[in-house]
Amino acid sequence: MMFFQSRILIVSAVSLMILSACNPTDKIQATDVAATVNGTIISESRVDMMVKQAIAEGQPDVPDLRKKIIDQLSMQLLISQEATRKGIDKKPEISEQLELARQSILANAFVQDYLRNNPVSDDMVKEEYEKVKAQMSGKEYKARHILVETEAEAKEVIAKLRKDPTGFEKLAMEKSKDFGSKVNGGNLGWFDPRAMIQEFGTAVENLTKGNFSEKPVKTDFGFHVILLEDTREKIIPALDQVKSSLTQKIQQQNMNELFEVLKAKAKIEINQLAASGVLPTSESEMTELGK
């Protein structure tokens, strides 16, 4: 339980100090007062927020949870008041952290507000589902491969397979440079050829079930010998199974579009020296930078 108490204290410290500035005492109703610390109010709504956060993070919803959180918020506020009295909040590095935290809170609030006011409709989800179905249509393939460095090595493997077609797995474990699949006899499982490097995917599509490539297949990785074990039509999940993920995808797309619009309207000037990590270290360098 001590871990829980210190965690709440640390996680909430910055947000409490920032929110205090946005929640003046004279605007809080008397019925919304959970506690006061040196005249500064901790509101019931803030306690409610922290209770929900604690429960969402897996803390047990026990009867004394609210009291513990009020105690923690009180101590937290007391410490922050003492820090302010000592001028710690005016230190450049602390001011910077507080401003970054404020921006983060506002940015997250903006995103939540946008999502709340721009819900994804069922029609939008269905339209996205049809796009995904079109992209997923077709066959998928189950294959093994042996990857070697030279064409001569690949031809040697092919020659051995012609003599003993059943020896593919053993050869893969002995010869393949693909350490991810060689331990499984070159097994690549089921895959869409379009997800593979083009030369490899094309070679797989041109094979017939049970046969291996009669010529080495060259890619940027080396030379492959491929065995096609099976093919099947792609299994496309029902809409209900992917509705949640599609909704999130659409939300992300919409947010990205909004961000691009905001960015296009803004005037953003980036100090290229700062971006590269090279900053002026002397007054003369600062002068040169300003020219």
- For residue 54, pLDDT over 50 is answered with yes
Give the C-alpha separation, 54 to 70, whole Å: 13
Domain membership of residue 14 (yes or no) is: yes
- Among 233, 261, 279, where does a domain finish? 233
Domain count, the chain: 2
pLDDT tens digits, one per residue of 118-127:
999 999 999 9
Domain membership of residue 291 (yes or no) is: no
Domain membership of residue 228 (yes or no) is: yes
- For residue 29, pLDDT over 90 is answered with no
Domain check: are 53 and 101 in the same one? yes
Domain check: are 159 and 221 in the same one? yes
Domain membership of residue 28 (yes or no) is: yes
Count Cβ atoms below 10 Å from residue 264 Cβ, excluding itself: 8
Q: What is the pLDDT of residue 272?
A: 82
pLDDT tens digits, one per residue of 180-239:
999 999 999 999 999 999 999 999 999 999 999 999 999 999 999 999 999 999 888 999
Give residue 218's domain range.
138-233
Domain check: are 60 and 147 in the same one? no
- Among 71, 88, 117, where does a domain finish? 117
Domain check: are 26 and 98 in the same one? yes
The closest of 179, 158, 153, 178 to 168, measured between CA atoms, is 158
Q: What is the pLDDT of residue 276?
A: 77
Place of tokens 């983060």: 104
Domain check: are 99 and 160 in the same one? no
Domain check: are 78 and 12 in the same one? yes
Domain check: are 112 and 145 in the same one? no
Domain check: are 64 and 156 in the same one? no
The closest of 141, 145, 143, 160 to 217, measured between CA atoms, is 145
* Mean pLDDT estimate for the chain: 87
Domain membership of residue 251 (yes or no) is: no
The closest of 89, 15, 68 to 46, measured between CA atoms, is 15
Domain membership of residue 238 (yes or no) is: no
Alpha-helical runs (H) found in the chain = 2-21, 44-56, 65-85, 92-117, 122-136, 151-163, 168-175, 179-182, 198-205, 239-265, 272-276, 283-290
The answer to whether the beta carbons of residues 133 and 192 sit under 8 Å apart is: no
- For residue 13, pLDDT over 50 is answered with no
Domain membership of residue 271 (yes or no) is: no
Structure confidence at residue 288 as a pLDDT band (50, 70, 90): low
